[in-house]
Amino acid sequence: MPLKLNKLKALRVILSKIGYENVIKIMKAITVILIFILALGVRLFPFKWGSYLTAYDPYFQYRATEYIVKNGFQAWFTWRDQMSWYPYGRDVAKTAYLGVPFTGAIFYILLQSLGMKCSLMEACSFLPALLGALSAILAYLIGREVDGEVTGIFAGLLLATSPAFISRTTAGFYDTESVGFFAMMLSLYFWIKAMKMNSIIMAILSGLALAYMNASWGGGLYLLNLYTIYVVFMLIIGKYSRKLLTIYSTTIGTALLLLSQVPIFVRKYLIGYATIPSIALIAIASIISIIKDTKKRESMILGLIFIILMIASGITILQFKGYLRTLTGRILTVIVPSIRENIPLVASVAEHKTPTWGYMFFQYSATAILAPLGIYFALKRRKDYDILLSIAGITSIYFASSMMRLIMLAAPFISILAGVGISRLLKTHIETIIRKRITAKRGRKIAVGTSRAGSVGVLIMLFLILAVTLTSWRTVAYSPQTIITCGGVPGGTKYKDWIEALLWMRVNLPEDAVVASWWDYGYWITTLGNKTSICDNATLNATQIKSVALAFMSNETTALKIFKKLGVTHVLVFETFDPQTGFLLHGRGYGDFAKSYWMIRIAGLNVSDYIKVYREKGIQTPEGPKAANSTLYRMLFATRREIWKSWGIDIPAPEHFKLVFKSTNGFVFIYEVVYGEEAEG
């Protein structure tokens, strides 16, 4: 016992020397470091399977980064990629965002200059995890700015472990969102600092980060227009100020000035309906300032008339000349989800589908319940940044519920708002417990209200909910890369067919080979297979995708004519057949047969001519009057013809396509096109 007392006394002496305030600061710093380590750690699990990239798009980002590292940053702006979108080629600067490859190249060069020996693939795989962890720290900083230290800690912790945020910031997901969301968090942080400090410098920094976001990801338009919606709302409720005009104009002006140098943004958005509201609002806010500050009525009226005429005439001229860019089909389907089915090219992409409520709850967990509580507390206080975060929370949840890919969009705002809700609950109920304990000890009558037991119960329930929420990341984080799971087959890590096929293609096909496939695999073919592809995930030419779809679903005569016109030498197809039975895995497969539904629709054909659905059995089969003549089906099902014949489905082997490669498990097939008279005309 004396020994323990001596230790306690020694501890008190040490703490008194350090100072209790410094001890608290050290504890805060340790907490933030632990949040960073946790956020980074859970995102590094995919390295268990190697330093591969996941999904499809990251392989283009890697290839673009490799090009910059080899040729320099300036070379990006003149790069005409002849291995993509053959035979036309791809103007990369005008069709791809530069944020990810530029960031990756800078990161890799920095690592090399510090003497760290790693491959470019390893650096690109690691970068998304690092940016995701830094985004969690930014969530902490934003939460601290808006509602104090406790809110900041919970905001950072929740974002660090949010499945919705982990899914696109995990190691290997080297794509636009990983950089774009980091930039978004930076811009939000500097905007809030600018509002609190009335700082032009912070507004400029917010604008720089906003430009960085829009140069990295098309979803950057959300933040650009969020600021616009926020200022409009502030005008409506009468909370407009000169400070708000200055910060908004500086932020938007800085961003658009920089973005005017980014070719893809100029082509798609700079002068269009996506940015006109933001630009027009600067003029409108200026008009309001004129009304407030101008004493002479005549001057005020002249100023108003001049600005209104300038705006109206500018928009009219741009529209008449055809310079105003309309919103893309994908953006329109986010705003109005009901029109998605009418645009097959958009609807065919799995991540464009509308998520179910169950899926959304899995991604957000209890934060989906705590965030509305945070909105309530924020709107009750009604500070400028409270209103901004509330609008962000509401709008981002709407967009997330309209498209699966945008599930991530709401995660930062939900985490911060949930942090506000948790902080307020803790403060209220801890104060209740302490107050009633002191009152009871002094023998005073306890006031009527929330009981001490009730507050304890609320806190226990809150911590139980948080325990579940903070451990829900496991399923998402502990997932192998897509190429390791053979194109996303559940439990498919035992199948290495895609890696096998791409390595074979790289080594065995001629250098001038042109490979046709469905667009999903274009980036793998060009980056890992090092061969020219016809289309990929970013192909803008809808006619080309429709031509490929028509070639696959038509008879061989039509297919040969289309492929010859496109200069195709080889065709790659993919389907997941059960290795034991030869039937489609899970009744419909995970490859080109499942995707043929959309090929048929994009080509303008009838699905019932090719596919039969057995709803009671949950399976689909290649049956219909045109199924046996489909070039795609011949390439796929003829490889197991005898098995399928036993089930009454006879699809013959292709006559003009020579099988030159079959993967070990019979999932990936590569055919050489044998042209003849059928290809003429």
Q: Is residue 391 domain-shared with residue 523, that is, in the same domain? A: no
Supply φ then ψ for residue 514, to 5 degrees.
Answer: -120, 120
Please give the Cα distance from 314 to 397 (Å, whole number): 34
| pLDDT over threshold 70, residue 251 | yes
Query: Are 500 and 396 part of one and the same domain?
Result: no
Instruction: Mark which of 419, 445, 477 sits at the end of a domain.
Output: 419
Pick from 392, 419, 446: which residue ends a domain?
419
Q: Are residues 216 and 80 in the same domain?
A: yes
Q: What is the mean pLDDT of residues 507-522?
A: 95
* 449/376: higher pLDDT: 376
Please check whether residues 359 and 234 belong to one and the same domain: yes
Q: How far apart are CA 378 and CA 174, in angstroms?
A: 35
Residue 595 belongs to some domain of the structure: yes
Please state the domain count of the chain.
2
SS3 sequence, 551-601?
Answer: HHHCCHHHHHHHHHHHCCCEEEEECCECCCCCCEHHHCCCCHHHHHHHHHH
Report the distance separating Cα 465 and Cα 370, nearest Å: 10
Per residue in 200-213, pLDDT (tens digit) is 999 999 999 999 99
Question: Residue 24: inside a domain, yes or no?
Answer: no
Residue 521 belongs to what domain range?
492-679
Residue 317, CA distances (Å) to 162, 271, 275, 309, 435 in order: 47, 12, 16, 12, 68
Residue at a domain's end among 419, 437, 460:
419
User: In the structure, what pLDDT confidence band is assigned to residue 445 with cuts at 50, 70 and 90?
Assistant: very low
pLDDT above 70: residue 19: no
User: Would residue 449 be called left, alpha or beta, if left means φ above 0 and alpha means ψ between -120 and 50 degrees?
Assistant: left
Same domain (yes/no): 391, 505: no
| Residue 473, in any domain of the structure | no
pLDDT tens column, 625-641: 999 999 999 999 999 99
More confident residue, 353 or 314: 353
- Asked if 263 and 94 count as a contact pair (C-beta separation under 8 A), the reply is yes
What is each CA distance from 76 to 80, 93, 501, 507, in whole angstroms?
9, 6, 30, 28
Residue 464 inside a domain? The answer is no
The candidate with the shortest Cα–Cα distance to 284, out of 306, 307, 301, is: 307
Q: DSSP label at 652?
A: P
CATH number for the domain including 672? Answer: 3.40.50.12610
Residue 652 CB contacts under 8 Å (≥ 6 apart), including other chains: 628, 634, 638, 641
Confidence category of residue 366, pLDDT binned at 50, 70, 90: confident
Cβ(621)–Cβ(575) under 8 Å?
A: no
> Model confidence at 448, in pLDDT bands (50, 70, 90)?
very low
pLDDT mean across residues, the chain: 86
| pLDDT for 23 beyond 80 | no
Q: Which of 357, 377, 378 is nearest to 368 (CA)?
A: 357
Identify whether residues 518 and 411 lie together within a single domain: no
pLDDT tens sequence across 105-153: 999 999 999 999 899 999 999 999 999 999 999 999 999 999 989 999 9
Q: Could you tell me if residue 554 is inside a domain?
A: yes
- In this predicted structure, the answer to whether residue 469 has a pLDDT above a threshold of 80 is no
Is the pLDDT reported for residue 286 higher than 70? yes
Q: Which amino acid is at 625?
A: P
> From residue 213, how far is each of 175, 205, 207, 394 by CA, in Å?
12, 12, 10, 21
25 within some domain:
no
Q: What is the rounded distance in angstroms from the CA atom of residue 512 to the CA atom of residue 531? A: 8
Neighbours of 525 (CB within 10 A): 29
What is the bridge-based pairing of β-strands 619-621 and 612-614? antiparallel
Q: Which of 55-64, 311-320, 348-357, 551-560 has the lowest mean pLDDT?
A: 311-320
Beta bridge partners of 584: 577
Q: Name the band, by pLDDT with cuts 50, 70 and 90, for residue 352.
A: low
Residues 515, 394 share a domain: no
Residue 67 and residue 191 in one domain: yes
C-alpha 678: how far from chain center: 44
Least confidently predicted of 13-17, 411-415, 463-467, 558-562: 13-17
399, 540: one domain:
no
CA distance 151 to 452: 23
Report whether pLDDT(444) > 70: no
Domain membership of residue 23 (yes or no) is no
| pLDDT of residue 447 exceeding 50 | no
The rounded distance, in Å, linking the Cα atoms of 681 and 678 is: 8
Nearest 5°: CA angle at 466, between 463 and 471? 130
Residue 370 lies in a domain: yes
Q: Which of 560, 575, 547, 549 is nearest to 636 (CA)?
A: 575
Residue 449: its pLDDT value, please? 47
* Distance from C-alpha of 392 to C-alpha of 389, rounded to nearest angstrom: 5
Shared domain for 414 and 518, answered yes or no, is no
Higher pLDDT, 102 or 352: 102
Computed on alpha carbons and rounded to an integer, the radius of gyration of the chain in Å comes to 29
